[in-house]
Amino acid sequence: MHRHHNGLKTAVLFGAIWAVLLLLGGLLASALRSASLLWVFVLIGLGTSAYGYWNSDKLAIRAMRARPVSEAEQPVLHRIVRELSTRAHQPVPRLYVSPTMAPNAFATGRNPENAAVCCTEGILRLLDERELRGVLGHELQHVYNRDILTSSVAGALAGVITSIAQFAQFGAFFGAGRDGEGRANPFAVLLLSLAAPLAAGVVQLAISRTREYDADEDGARLTGDPLALASALRKLELDIRRLPLPPERELVNASHMMIANPFRAQGFSRLFSTHPPMAERIARLEAMAGYRR
């Protein structure tokens, strides 16, 4: 099976986002002759990241208005998750169903012991058992790969960069460092403060996409059936166009956890999607299975 080295890509992307943070922070500290405010932004970012990390399961489940389901209600869902968790030598997560007909699924939780898997009613009706197994293998691998931690850290870094950039713009407009010898040029601070949040956002999206590729590959290995997930993704792409989720704030915040972009992405907005193109994901899965058209 072909490996795409997504772990290495994630590490490189984290290096890039740290480089943006250090460059912007260093330039602003030079302009202000003080680094104390930078630590305030870092602490705020760490605090919000920790809150999101520890409460990711509650926040996402509440956003989807999901409820826990018993084995009597969803025997197939429980059986598949139990079998896959046993195969992976991991605890069985809590299972939820969201009442929306928009087809999607996500897994969340800070570790396998505190994980939850949620499927919408739409995806349970859309997929057959084999395809559902492929989707659940993908979602469980997000938990096993600690992708909630990865996305929380990436989000925190991007948030810190945005906060520092906003402060830097304020300082540059009011001439911070303009008269101090050896301080950074305020125009350079302004230019970087405008570019840095965009760069951080693009890197954050790239990290999210590499984690999706990893979950596809590892989930397909867990189930032993890459074509099942490929078939599920193909169905999801078509059905989400017909039944997208409304772009409400809570749903937007949780969308990166879902197996497919739940919104109707068109034109320019596709460039800023948290998910890779479906065609590329399907092609990689078919390559894993040695499929030839």
Catalytic amino acids? 139
Phi-psi region of 178 (alpha: psi -120 to 50; beta: other; left: phi over 0): alpha
Q: State how far the Cα of 227 lies from the Cα of 233, in Å rounded to an integer.
A: 10
List of residues 6+ apart from 120 with CB closer than 8 A: 64, 97, 98, 99, 100, 101, 102, 103, 104, 105
Compute how many other C-beta atoms are within 10 angstroms of the C-beta atom of residue 191: 14
Q: State how far the Cα of 21 lies from the Cα of 233, in Å rounded to an integer.
A: 35
Q: Please give the full DSSP string across 6-27, using - where no structure is assigned.
A: HHHHHHHHHHHHHHHHHHHHHH
Calculate the alpha carbon distances from 201 to 46, 78, 100, 189, 207 in Å.
17, 37, 29, 19, 10
Token duo for residue 133: 């197994």
Token duo for residue 53: 């990390």
Q: Please give the full DSSP string across 121-165, using - where no structure is assigned.
A: HHHHHHS-HHHHHHHHHHHHHHHHTTHHHHHHHHHHHHHHHHHHH
